[in-house]
Amino acid sequence: MNTLRKRLLGFAALALLMVATSCERESGEAKVEPPQADEQEPAGGRNTMPGLAHGLLQSPINILSNRSEAGHHEIAVNLHHAEPEYLANKGHTIELDFPRGSTIAFDGREYELKQLHFHTPSEHQIDGITYPMELHVVNSIEPKTPDEPPRYLVLAFLYRMGDEDSFIASFLSQVPTGEGLAALEPRQVHVTVVDQAMDFHFYHYRGSLTTPPFTETVEWMIAKEIQQASPEQVRRINQIEGDNARHVQPLYGRAVD
C-alpha cells in the first residue's frame, strides 16, 4: 500500500468519524455504521448522490501551484468532428454537443468527446483565485455493465476578462432564450482549445463531476494557460445560466500534478 493510499484511508476514517460525531450530536441516539475501509474498491469507483455522504474525491478544488507535483501524462486528440452540432440552453448551463466519432486519449485510454459547457464564475481556483468563467470539455467512456459508473476526462479552461473570444462569438447570439436546443451550421463553431489541447500545459488530479450525481471517476485536466473572453461575453453567459459554480471541496490528501 503506497503512502498516498494510506493517507487517503486515514483521512477517510477521520472524515467518517467526524460525520458520525456530528450525526450523534444532532439526533442524540443515531446509530452510525463504523467506518469501513474497503480495500477492494477501486479509488474513485463509487457513485455519490447529493444529500448523502460524499466520498473523498470531490470537485472542484483550489489548486495550489507551488504544491503541485511534477507529473507526466499523455494526451492525444483524435478529431473527426471537432465542430459541435447542437447548442443547448439547459437553464443552468449553456452546452454544445459534439457528434460521435472524436476521441481524446489520456495516458493511452480513449474517451469519447461528448460536450462542452460553461460555468460562471469558475469552479476551480488557482492559488485561491476564482476566475470569471470556466469551460469544461467533457469526454467519457460508457460503462460495460449497468452497475459500473461511466469514466470521465474533463479538460477545463479558465477565462479572465480581456479580448473577445472568437469561439464564443461564433454561437453566443444563437443560444435559445429559455431552455431549448438549436442546431448549428456545419463547421460554424470551431473549438480552438480542443483542437490545440496538446499544446497546453495542465494541472491534473482525480475528482468528481461538479453536478449530481457527483460521480468520482473524473480525470481532471485544468489548463495552466488562462483564456480571455470579453466582459460582455462573460456577462451574457452568466445572464443565461446564472451563478452555477459549485464550491471548492476538500483535497483529503490528494496529489495535484
- Find all residues with CB under 8 Å of 131, minimum gap 6, and list them: 121, 122, 158, 159, 160, 226
Residue 12 or 197: the one with the smaller Cβ distance to Zn ion is 197
151 interacts with Zn ion by CB under 5 A: no
CA-CA distance, 214 to 44, in Å (whole number)? Answer: 11
Contact 124, 247 (CB under 8 A): no
Q: How far is the CB of 27 from Zn ion (least distance, A)?
A: 35
Residue 34 or 50: the one with the smaller Cβ distance to Zn ion is 50
CA-CA distance, 125 to 117, in Å (whole number)? Answer: 18
Residue linked to cell 481532471? 220
Quote the DSSP letter at residue 40.
Answer: T
Q: How far is the CB of 39 from Zn ion (least distance, A)?
A: 32
- Find all residues with CB under 8 Å of 37, minimum gap 6, and list them: 9, 12, 13
Out of 54, 124, 136, 254, the residue judged to bind Zn ion by CB under 5 A: 136
Q: How far is the CB of 210 from Zn ion (least distance, A)?
A: 5
Residue 8 or 216: the one with the smaller Cβ distance to Zn ion is 216
Known catalytic residue at 92: yes
Q: Which of 72, 92, 117, 190 is catalytic?
A: 92
Which spans of this chain sit near Zn ion (rule: CB under 5 A)?
A: 136
User: What are the residue numbers of the active site?
Assistant: 92
